[in-house]
């Protein structure tokens, strides 16, 4: 791999400030063409235990630093990431598949969490509480929760790490991260830059490993761990939550979604179509907040479908490093086959392919950006998280009915509303049972706002002041007479 800074290509685990080998290795391949990119030390549960021990040992010195001292190190880390953004984006595209422009966007987005939390940790104020007894004084102070463990996904191999690790480190916690085995290179490069920034040995540790259940057990059950944070599927999240329960660990869970995208008859259809393509096709649809069910008012349905078809047809599919490419491959063949099966099931049940619906000759992990109409709520495609470049459109006639249909899912991550009527927009935004609702836009993720879901989409928030609060314990201090 050609990099301006070749030291960013790391292939070992990072534990207690040391790069460590393992007995076996994991192959990392370019999902676009199968090219072998690197072989990574396949860490074990024992390595995870060593990483937790290192984080536990490093904790007292790190948490005792002033917020300004921690902020200075984090700001250096942020700067190094930005200085090396081109290399980091290239690594990300090669191992994950997203187009280079999106990868660059992710690097800046990921780094922004580090900068923002470096600033925010200086405002960890407690309170002086008006006392109930003149002889007593009551206060709260905010202290870091302790050792934090993280399991992060392959769809955002950089930003999902910084969104967890930055607030944790800023608060004074130490961290152990298990990145996805598909995309460890972006993760390990972040550790290399953290080391160069001066994060002390043991404050940040990383274990890549193919035995996810065994490593996950250590990260959720070790008694030295105070908090566990996870981004991934609801099914795996439930298993990890049960494991956390044995030690009453604090936890944050960012899980699956089934995002509705509602287009009312008073929407600006060009805005709605652009928003729909942005949420649906970003990262080839492999985003937790990608829209999954597109509900369009019957009076504008045909026009919307035609405009959507035309806009999706403009997308350029190919290798993420090629000029002009806007949609890359999916992460692996299983994902492509699943998407193809969802299309087939829908067509068998009466839906119509308006565009796409094909594998592509470019490679076995590509699937054509696809638009389907005639979808109904009982189809698999409307009930499961698609995680692919597939836009399924349904009709609705009535506001109350579409709200009921949109809420009729165990998930509650993100929802989208398209309407130019401010009263309706407010009403519907408030009625949707989701952690995040975007109105007249398809892109809403930002460092400064809380990201997270309700119902089976998760617990806790990442980003903004809420994301920082997840890593503090509020201690009530009562001083007697």
Active site residue 244: no
Distance CA 225, CA 219 (A): 7
Q: Which stretch binds ligand SIN (CB under 6 A): 214-222, 284-292, 308-316, 372-380?
A: 284-292
CB of 116 to ligand SIN, least distance (A): 14
Encoded one letter per residue, x for contact with ligand SIN by CB under 6 A and - for no contact, window 154-193 reads -xx-------------------------------------
Q: Which stretch binds ligand SIN (CB under 6 A): 18-26, 76-84, 287-295, 349-357?
A: 287-295
Are 171 and 144 in contact by the 8 Å Cβ rule? The answer is yes
CB of 53 to ligand SIN, least distance (A): 30
Q: Under the criterion CB under 6 A, does residue 386 sit at the interface with ligand SIN?
A: no
320 or 452: whose CB is closer to ligand SIN? 452
User: Applying CB under 6 A, what is the total number of residues that bind ligand SIN?
Assistant: 9
157 or 202: whose CB is closer to ligand SIN? 157
CA 48 to chain centre: 22
Q: Under the criterion CB under 6 A, does residue 288 sit at the interface with ligand SIN?
A: yes
Strands in 472-479's sheet, in edge-to-edge order, are 127-129, 137-144, 472-479
Q: Which stretch binds ligand SIN (CB under 6 A): 239-247, 282-290, 345-353, 365-373?
A: 282-290
SS (H, E, C) 320-375: CCCCCCCECCCCCHHHHHHHHHHHHHHHHCCCEEEECCCECCCCCCCECCEEEECC
Give the residue, chosen from 181, 231, 409, 447, that forms a contact with ligand SIN under the rule CB under 6 A: 231
Beta strands at 137-144 and 472-479: parallel, antiparallel or unpaired: antiparallel
Distance CA 366, CA 30 (A): 12
* Site residues (CB under 6 A) for ligand SIN, limited to 235-264: 254
Q: Under the criterion CB under 6 A, does residue 205 sit at the interface with ligand SIN?
A: no
49 or 460: whose CB is closer to ligand SIN? 460
Residue 373, phi then psi, degrees to nearest 5: -115, 175
Active site residue 173: no
* Contacts (Cβ under 8 Å, ≥6 apart) of 110: 81, 156, 158, 159, 161, 162, 163
Beta strands at 18-20 and 454-455: parallel, antiparallel or unpaired: unpaired
* Site residues (CB under 6 A) for ligand SIN, limited to 297-316: none
Of 263, 275, 343, whose CA–CA distance to 303 is shortest? 263
Please pick, among 288, 385, 439, 462, the residue that the annotation labels catalytic. 288
Compute how many other C-beta atoms are within 10 angstroms of the C-beta atom of residue 68.
10
Please pick, among 120, 195, 254, 470, the residue that the annotation labels catalytic. 254
Compute how many other C-beta atoms are within 10 angstroms of the C-beta atom of residue 164.
28
Interface ranges with ligand SIN (CB under 6 A): 155-156, 231, 254, 287-289, 445, 451
- The residues assigned a catalytic role are 254, 288
């Amino acid at each position: 791999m050609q990099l301006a800074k070749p030291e960013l290509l790391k292939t070992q685990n990072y534990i207690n400030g040391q790069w460590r080998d393992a007995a076996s290795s994991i192959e990392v391949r370019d999902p676009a063409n199968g090219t072998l990119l690197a072989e990574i030390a396949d860490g074990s549960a024992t390595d995870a235990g060593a990483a937790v021990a290192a984080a536990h040992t490093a904790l007292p010195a790190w948490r005792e630093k002033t917020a300004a001292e921690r902020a200075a190190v984090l700001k250096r880390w942020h700067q190094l990431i930005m200085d090396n953004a081109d290399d980091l984006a290239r690594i990300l595209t090669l191992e994950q598949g997203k187009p280079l422009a999106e990868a660059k966007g992710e690097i800046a987005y990921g780094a922004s969490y580090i900068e923002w939390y470096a600033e925010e940790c200086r405002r960890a104020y407690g309170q002086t509480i008006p006392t109930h007894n003149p002889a007593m004084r009551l206060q709260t102070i905010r202290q870091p929760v302790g050792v934090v463990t993280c399991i992060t996904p392959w769809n955002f191999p950089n930003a999902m790490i910084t969104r967890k690790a930055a607030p944790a480190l800023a608060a004074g916690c130490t961290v152990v991260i298990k990145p996805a085995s598909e995309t460890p290179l972006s993760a390990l490069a972040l550790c290399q830059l953290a080391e160069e920034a001066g994060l002390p040995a043991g404050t940040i540790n990383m274990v890549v490993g193919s035995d996810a259940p065994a490593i996950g057990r250590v990260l959720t059950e070790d008694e030295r761990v105070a908090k566990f944070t996870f981004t991934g599927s609801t099914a795996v999240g439930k298993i990890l939550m049960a494991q956390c329960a044995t030690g009453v660990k604090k936890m944050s869970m960012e899980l699956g979604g089934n995002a509705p995208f509602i287009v009312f008859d008073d929407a600006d259809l060009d805005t709605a179509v652009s928003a729909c393509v942005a949420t649906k096709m970003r990262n080839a649809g492999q985003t937790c907040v990608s829209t999954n069910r597109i509900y369009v008012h019957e009076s504008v349905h045909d026009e919307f479908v035609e405009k959507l078809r035309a806009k999706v047809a403009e997308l350029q599919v190919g290798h993420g490093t090629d000029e002009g490419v806007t949609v890359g491959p999916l992460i692996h063949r299983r994902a492509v086959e699943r998407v193809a099966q969802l299309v087939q099931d829908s067509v068998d049940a009466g839906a119509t392919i308006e565009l796409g619906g094909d594998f592509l000759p470019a490679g076995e992990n590509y699937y054509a950006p696809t638009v389907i109409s005639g979808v109904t709520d009982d189809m698999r495609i409307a009930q499961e998280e698609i995680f692919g470049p597939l836009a399924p459109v349904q009709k609705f006639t009535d506001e109350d009915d579409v709200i009921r249909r949109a809420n009729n899912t165990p998930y509650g991550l993100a929802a989208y509303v398209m309407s130019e009527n401010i009263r309706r927009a407010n009403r519907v935004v408030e009625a949707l049972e989701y952690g995040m609702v975007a109105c007249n836009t398809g892109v809403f993720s930002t460092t400064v706002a809380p990201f997270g879901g309700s119902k089976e989409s998760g617990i806790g928030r990442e980003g903004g002041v809420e994301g920082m609060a997840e890593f503090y314990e509020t201690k009530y201090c009562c001083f007697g007479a």
